[in-house]
Amino acid sequence: MRKIGFIGVGIMGRSMVRNLMKAGYEAHIYARTKAKAEDVISEGAVFHDSIADCVKDRDAVITIVGFPQDVEEVYFDSGNILDSAAPGTYLIDMTTTSPMLAEKIFEEGTKRGFHVLDAPVTGGDTGAKEGTLSILVGGERQDYEACLPLFEAMGTNINYEGKAGSGQHCKLANQIMIAGTLSGVCEALTYAKEKGLDPDTFMKSVATGAAGSRQLDLYGAKIIAGDYAPGFFMKHFIKDMKLALIEANKSGVDLGVLSQVLANCEELEAEGCGELGTQALMKFYDEEHRYSGEEE
């Protein structure tokens, strides 16, 4: 397995392509906007003007696009992946998307002779750059095992979660945990600031105790500095939380914290924050705090 088609060269995809090339894979890429991929093209990735050309005669095709409708488009639209890749190709969707959609791709792909895996990732842009992503894989176990060397080029914590759609369910559970943790970080920093604590000293004090978290490590300093540049877009986090809430509701599971964080983020998106990083959730607390102060 040497020739890889890769569709979706965004914040995450760009670094994943780099790591695949470092591991000796031949990367063939497609992106809607070629200019966004110029850096990896200059480093050796082969750009194709169409999805059909990108996926022809590849050993595996990896997709990591934005939203479920994008996944539908790249797999099912006429002349795209399912119509153009050779039977026997491994099709790996690494987008965070609907478990039902992952099952649909698996069923249709299997009928057409493909090996289909859903393999969403977590670890953010830092994990993508460093090749330390956690990769959560659903599908047939033998297909997972066949693709392990490919996953090892991009990540370090790689696990088989179960049948098709299981990778997506694991990722949605991950996003539920992030929602609670990130909101906790924002609330704690809001409280510390209100009570006159030095934010940097506060963060240093709690980082290695029971309240320490990856979200605090990644975003605490950025929040204090007012740095809301995206490592992971707010709009994509909203998409993930909505998917998780839909799945939870289908199972009759009440996730109150997730519902509240989603509502907060949607409010921020309505105010134009969708293109900021997830740490911009702090803006909700800043605004709430200012509003409360005016009332007093």
Q: Which domains does the chain have, with CATH numbers?
A: 3-163 (3.40.50.720), 170-295 (1.10.1040.10)
What pLDDT, on the 0 to 100 scale, is given for residue 292?
53
Model confidence at 124, in pLDDT bands (50, 70, 90)? confident
Whether 235 shows a pLDDT value over 70: the answer reads: yes
Q: Which of 34, 36, 104, 171 is catalytic?
A: 171
* 129 a catalytic residue: no
Mean pLDDT (the chain) is: 95
Please provide residue 8's backbone torsions phi and psi, each rounded to the nearest 5 degrees.
110, 85
> What DSSP letter does each residue of 22-64 carry, written as one string?
HTT-EEEEE-SSGGGGHHHHHTTPEE-SSHHHHHTT-SEEEE-
pLDDT in tens, 26-74: 999 999 889 889 999 999 999 999 999 999 999 999 999 989 999 999 9
Furthest-apart CA atoms within the chain: distance in Å:
67
Please provide residue 33's backbone torsions phi and psi, each rounded to the nearest 5 degrees.
-115, 105
Other Cβ atoms less than 10 A from the Cβ of 53: the count is 15
What pLDDT, on the 0 to 100 scale, is given for residue 288?
59
What pLDDT, on the 0 to 100 scale, is given for residue 11?
87
What pLDDT, on the 0 to 100 scale, is given for residue 36?
86
Residue with tokens 């569709």: 7
* Beta bridge pairs of residue 137: 160
3-state DSSP: the chain helix, strand, coil percent, rounded to 5?
Answer: 55, 15, 30
Whether 294 shows a pLDDT value over 60: the answer reads: no
pLDDT in tens, 126-157: 899 999 999 999 999 999 999 999 999 999 99
The conformation of residue 135, written as its DSSP 8-state character, comes to E
